Structure 1
Amino acid sequence: MKRFVTFVRKEFYHVFRDNKTLLLLFGLPVAQIVLFGFALTNEIKNSKIVVADHARDEVSFQIIEKLSASRYFEIESTLLNNAEIEEYFKRGDIKLAVVFPNKLQQELSSDHVSQIQVIADATDPNTASTLTSYVSSIINDYQQDLNISLGFPVQIVPEVRMLYNPNLKGTTNFVPGVMALVLLLVCVLMTSVSIVKEKEKGTMELLLVSPMQPFVIIISKAIPYFFLSLINLTVIVIMSVFLLGMPLKGSVVLLYTMSSIFILCALSLGLLISNSTNSQQAAMLISLMGMMLPTVLFSGFMFPLENMPLPLQWFANIVPSKWYYNMVKAIMIKGVGITAIWKEATILMGMTIVLLIISFKKFKIRMS
């Protein structure tokens, strides 16, 4: 029994002396609780909306106060005209708009009925349906209180309009997400394995002693996967449009240009991984697990980013697929031009340049 206790104590010592094992034992459960408890939820909170108050009376003011007090909404602006509302939607700054008609209070007093227009960005149909139901519930609650205070029944009818996707097709949400996921995984995985394979086979030494510069060697590894990724993109777009009914309202040239920037960013990330690892297994593991999970969790196509704690929202900003996902939705569904997505394009270009510079710095011209 004493020997058994000694072996158990020895095993405890091994565990507590190994920082990686401790991190796996205690860090992983904590991380999962934080992610699944705070981030990975389909409940919509803190969604940005705008209000066009054409009535400017007591009823509209009280409803706006209730919307503002709700934890579901953050009012970005008020007193907007229809053209300004459309620009907000095209830029992706808001999820929903509430438009109050002229003489709202007067209509309720005379006709006992009036309408409030609720416009939702239905590129994400689940979010749009949830937000419109929240607004309708708030208006209904206010209507009940108003009936009690007035002493006679009135009816405020939310007139719901689903913008860009009136039929609430799910393809408008998951197709851009699948495009981002497929292109990122293919580019990163194939490129990361390419240089590592040369190291394992021992042919990297032959490449390094050749007249080719290291810069040319790295670029030559990426170019084939760039064109193969464009073919992948073409197949996805054709299948999405003709088989799934995905709209393509924007410029095809702009879509391919932005996709090319994203592909270059993914290839740069793959080159960085390949220059940082010495085995194909390690490169594949980092590429698959390190890229798939952030894309699924932090790009916004499965879980709303505004629900997540601020540190996770900040982390999402360094995930390239988040910016590409937003651009694809804006181009294909909303039909916007470069003026609406220049911010996302600039960020992706900056990421690409930084990753390429780091990749060149980490590329070893001498094999140890």
Structure 2
Amino acid sequence: MKRFKGFVRKEFYHIFRDKRSLFILFGMPIAQILLFGFAITNEINNVDIAVLDHSRDATTGEIINKIAASKYFSINEFIERETDIESVFQKGKIKAVLNFEKNFSRNLIRDNTATIQIVTDATDPNTANTISNYTSSILRNYQQELNRDIQLAYQVLPEIRMVYNPELKGVFMFVPGVMTIILMLVSAMMTSISITREKELGTMEILLVSPLKPVLIIIGKVVPYIFLSVINAIVIIVLSIFVFKMPIQGSLFLLGVESVLFIITSLSLGILISTISTTQQTAMMVSLMGLMLPTILLSGFIFPISSMPVPLQVISNIIPAKWFIVLLKGIMLKGVGIVYLWKETLLLFGMALFFIVVSVRKYKIRLE
């Protein structure tokens, strides 16, 4: 046990001596959670739009003022001809144009129908779709104000209730995903270079002839990173609560346990990468390229898994990040407990055990 404690102490010394490692472990996660939390969002604010008003009457003026008064749009330009629409889009600043037909107010009074064409720049399809939805919502609200004194014979009134995220804040969706990516990449990347560093520095021979068993060497290399990654997770959760106002509806204890389990899974995966890599550069490339893209694309962080082709949906099941995001959203937003999350917990535990067993077996092969 004394030898094992000394080995763990040596690993801590290695980490604290290397300023680059400390920056990666503590500086990058804080910068990333702040950057991603503020920058990645599916909401729109102060989007520049242009107006082409063929009618120029009181009704179109009311609608324009109503749209301009919202926090979502900023009317940047008034254009005179439809041929100008393409030119304002080509400049790149204007994202949508509202095109009011001629005699808008008269058509609305006489025919009970008037047309507004919403032209959007669809080079970014998600933004274009969001702009059209927000604009349509403002127009529907204006229409309801006009017709509030009219009683129809039959009415279907949808009552919409948003649960878990009533204000539809995009940050509530992105923070769990960003937390998962940071813990996965930092934990796996740092541990992936741990054994390869021993090879490059020529100290692997000392470990090979040491009385420590392979399993103890693996655990000894993981323990410091578990401790440091737990600190990282605490910092991320604190930032999520106080900076992004992320609610924690469920048990903090369960959130901590699940975070530690995911950290161990990520660290075990990093150790597995380090045992099969010959250089630190190779280990880092494998951990970045082999884990970053699948974690971002196949975990459900950005794209819904149900919308993917069936083969990719099947592959996503072996991505640990997918199950941790489900756990985070279940605990933080829904407030559910282990009764509803036991399957995801069991899957993460099984993955961690599998990675550790394979790492030990690979390490044994190097001893023979």
Identity within the alignment, %: 54
Letter aligned with residue 212 of structure 1: L
Letter aligned with residue 322 of structure 2: K
Residue 213 (str. 1) matches residue 238 (str. 2) = no
Letter aligned with residue 168 of structure 1: L
**1 CA distance for matches of 2:320 and 2:329?**
15
Q: Once the two structures are superposed, what CA deviation does each residue of 1:47-91 show, in whole Å capped at 9, x if it has no partner?
A: xxxxxxxxxxxxxxxxxxxxxxxxxxxxxxxxxxxxxxxxxxxxx
**1 CA distance for matches of 2:333 and 2:314?**
26
**Matched residues, number:** 225
Cα contact 1:214–1:365 (8 A) shared by 2:
no
Q: Once the two structures are superposed, what CA deviation does each residue of 1:91-125 show, in whole Å capped at 9, x if it has no partner?
A: xxxxxxxxxxxxxxxxxxxxxxxxxxxxxxxxxxx
Helix, strand or coil at the partner of 2:297: helix
Cα contact 1:305–1:313 (8 A) shared by 2:
yes
Letter aligned with residue 216 of structure 1: L
Determine the structure 2 residue equivalent to 1:300.
300
Determine the structure 1 residue equivalent to 2:340.
340
Helix, strand or coil at the partner of 2:161: strand
Determine the structure 2 residue equivalent to 1:157.
157
Letter aligned with residue 335 of structure 2: G
Determine the structure 2 residue equivalent to 1:325.
325
Question: Cα distance, 1:224 vs. partner?
Answer: 0.4
Residue 236 (str. 1) matches residue 219 (str. 2) = no
Question: Cα distance, 1:155 vs. partner?
Answer: 2.0
Dislocated runs of 4+, deviation >3 Å: 364-368
Cα contact 1:197–1:280 (8 A) shared by 2:
yes
Q: Please, what is the CA RMSD of the aligned residues?
A: 2.3
Q: Structure 1 length as normaliser, TM-score?
A: 0.58
Determine the structure 1 residue equivalent to 2:67.
none
Cα contact 1:299–1:316 (8 A) shared by 2:
yes
Question: Cα distance, 1:355 vs. partner?
Answer: 1.1
Letter aligned with residue 172 of structure 1: F
Letter aligned with residue 337 of structure 2: G
Helix, strand or coil at the partner of 1:295: helix
Q: Once the two structures are superposed, what CA deviation does each residue of 1:257-297 show, in whole Å capped at 9, x if it has no partner?
A: 01111111111111110011101111000101111101110
Question: Cα distance, 1:153 vs. partner?
Answer: 5.2
**2 CA distance for matches of 1:313 and 1:170?**
24
Q: Once the two structures are superposed, what CA deviation does each residue of 1:138-170 show, in whole Å capped at 9, x if it has no partner?
A: xxxxxxxxxxxxxx8522111111101111111
**1 CA distance for matches of 2:281 and 2:226?**
23
Determine the structure 1 residue equivalent to 2:195.
195
Question: Cα distance, 1:332 vs. partner?
Answer: 0.6
Q: Structure 2 length as normaliser, TM-score?
A: 0.58
Determine the structure 1 residue equivalent to 2:84.
none
Residue 168 (str. 1) matches residue 164 (str. 2) = no
Letter aligned with residue 185 of structure 1: L
**2 CA distance for matches of 1:248 and 1:171?**
14
Helix, strand or coil at the partner of 2:156: strand
Question: Cα distance, 1:202 vs. partner?
Answer: 1.0
Determine the structure 1 residue equivalent to 2:226.
226
**2 CA distance for matches of 1:291 and 1:153?**
59
Helix, strand or coil at the partner of 2:157: strand
**1 CA distance for matches of 2:265 and 2:314?**
19
**Which residues of structure 1 form unaligned runs of 5+?**
1-41, 43-125, 138-151
